[in-house]
């Protein structure tokens, strides 16, 4: 138990560290995808390989896969797939990254394909499988969101680290993870492509996302129309806050001005009739946010 906790505390796991380039590349110059000795590129019979139980992707795009099969049939598998020895059978191999290429090779009736064999434990295998799929952008929105969630919860990675690893913005990672807060029925509609990720994001704060999702499907609404519909059906408390914001309180305005002067950033305060409310600090870059956090920690506000 302690070993697992220590690994989480190190921030970058060994697998993700290698994918980010924090470990040496192999002799061929490729970025090392996980901890363990790097094997040379070799070939293995396709029948000795099998998919990994840690594969995050559940859906394969038929059209894109058919295109890949034709490419493999014409040119072969150009990029080696990453495998490790099957923990349950030393004579066989488990695919860590490259399952689509392996499947395409089978469809193209290839008998052997190039591979790199690596020594990896279960933890590294899962981590690399998740990040490799995210980098290739061939996951569904929910598979992508779930991959981010697992990498954060099980490996202790931050949104900043994940954004760097997959070439996305931190806000993109955060917005995708918010999809997991939607009801199961709405997630199912997204998975079955009855609504898009843009539709789904518009429903996150809606009062009744399930009914709105059905309305989107029935009327064939686009994302802009969905956003308008979602705003019209905001919870009553949200509508009260919106109405209050339309009539600014001079005392609140003065407070916003004083706070903005103190921290150098725009501040918005929304007060409810109950005396509760929210304060929002607007920033334009991660550096501005880091500066505010540092100043708050130092209690340096005047």
Residue 266 structure tokens: 């725009």
Point out the catalytic residue in the list 99, 144, 146, 256: 99
CA atoms within 13 A on the CB side of 137: 5
Residues 217/223/225/227 CA torsion (nearest 10 deg):
110
Please count the helices (runs of H) and the strands (runs of E) in the chain: 15, 7
- DSSP class per residue in 28-96: TSPPP-SSSPEEEEEEEEGGGEE--TT-------HHHHHHHHHHHHHH---SPEEEEEETTEEEEEEEE
Mark residue 181 as left, alpha or beta (left: phi above 0; alpha: psi -120 to 50; beta: remaining). Answer: alpha
| 237 given a catalytic annotation | no
Whether residue 116 contacts residue 38, with contact meaning beta carbons closer than 8 Å, is answered with: yes
Q: 253: exposed, middle or buried (C-beta count within 10 Å: 0-12, 13-18, 19+)?
A: exposed
Closest by Cα among 176, 231, 177, 169 to 203: 231
In angstroms, rounded to a whole number, what is the distance separating the alpha carbons of residues 274 and 271? 8
Three-state DSSP state, 109: coil
Active site amino acids: 99
């Amino acid at each position: 138990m302690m070993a697992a906790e220590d690994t989480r505390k190190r921030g970058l796991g060994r697998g993700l560290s290698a994918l980010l380039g924090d470990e040496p590349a192999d002799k061929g110059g490729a970025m090392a995808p996980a901890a363990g000795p790097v094997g040379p590129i070799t070939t293995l019979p396709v029948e000795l390989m099998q998919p990994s139980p840690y594969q995050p992707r559940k859906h394969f795009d038929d059209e894109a896969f058919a295109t890949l099969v034709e490419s493999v049939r014409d040119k072969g598998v150009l990029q080696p797939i990453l495998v490790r020895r099957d923990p349950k059978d030393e004579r066989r191999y488990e695919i860590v990254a490259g399952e689509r290429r392996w499947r395409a090779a089978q469809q193209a009736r290839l008998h052997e394909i190039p591979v790199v064999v690596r020594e990896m434990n279960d933890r590294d295998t899962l981590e690399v499988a998740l990040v490799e799929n995210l980098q290739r952008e061939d996951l569904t929105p929910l598979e992508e969101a779930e991959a981010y969630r697992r990498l954060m919860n099980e490996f202790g990675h931050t949104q900043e680290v994940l954004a760097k690893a997959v070439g996305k913005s931190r806000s993109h990672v955060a917005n995708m993870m918010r999809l997991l807060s939607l009801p199961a029925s709405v997630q199912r509609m997204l998975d079955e492509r009855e609504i898009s990720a843009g539709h789904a994001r518009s429903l996150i704060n809606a009062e009744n996302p399930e009914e709105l999702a059905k309305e989107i499907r029935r009327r064939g609404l686009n994302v802009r129309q969905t956003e308008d519909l979602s705003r019209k059906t905001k919870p009553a408390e949200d509508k009260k806050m919106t109405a209050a914001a339309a009539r600014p309180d001079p005392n609140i305005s003065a407070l916003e001005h004083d706070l903005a002067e103190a921290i150098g950033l725009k501040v918005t305060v929304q007060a409810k009739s109950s005396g509760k409310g929210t304060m929002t600090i607007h920033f334009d870059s991660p550096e501005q946010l880091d500066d505010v956090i540092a100043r708050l920690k130092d209690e340096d506000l005047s």
